[in-house]
């Protein structure tokens, strides 16, 4: 029987550290990373090791979304070259 391979916590922490070095605040809980820019949460990154997939959920302004997506894409290529990154833009419906 095959089991999904997990990701070493040092790799995940390295990803968080590099996001911070690129001007994005990031905090991690398991395989989910919340990303803030200028004091506001603007995205979340969710890694699915068993499926080799990463989902970036963007909920900032379009200019911020482009910046965050560019930085995350570069780091996913570096840390998880065999993963597929899917970006989803969430629209604000209230207020």
pLDDT, averaged per 10 consecutive residues of the chain (95 residues), comes to 79 97 96 95 95 94 94 97 96 58
Contact in structure between 40 and 60 (CB atoms under 8 Å)? yes
Query: Structure pTM?
Result: 0.89
pLDDT of residue 61: 86
Domains of the chain, CATH where assigned = 9-89 (3.30.300)
- Measured between alpha carbons, how far is 35 from 23 in angstroms, rounded to an integer? 10
The pLDDT, as a whole number, for residue 80 is 96
pLDDT at 92: 63
């Amino acid at each position: 029987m095959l089991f999904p391979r997990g990701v070493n916590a040092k790799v995940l922490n390295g990803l968080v550290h590099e996001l911070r070095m690129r001007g994005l605040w990031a905090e991690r809980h398991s395989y989910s990373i919340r990303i803030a820019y200028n004091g506001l949460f603007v995205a979340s990154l969710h890694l699915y090791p068993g499926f080799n997939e990463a989902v970036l959920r963007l909920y900032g302004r379009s200019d911020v979304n482009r910046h965050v997506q560019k930085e995350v894409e570069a780091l996913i290529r570096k840390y998880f070259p065999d993963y597929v990154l899917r970006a989803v833009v969430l629209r604000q419906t209230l207020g």
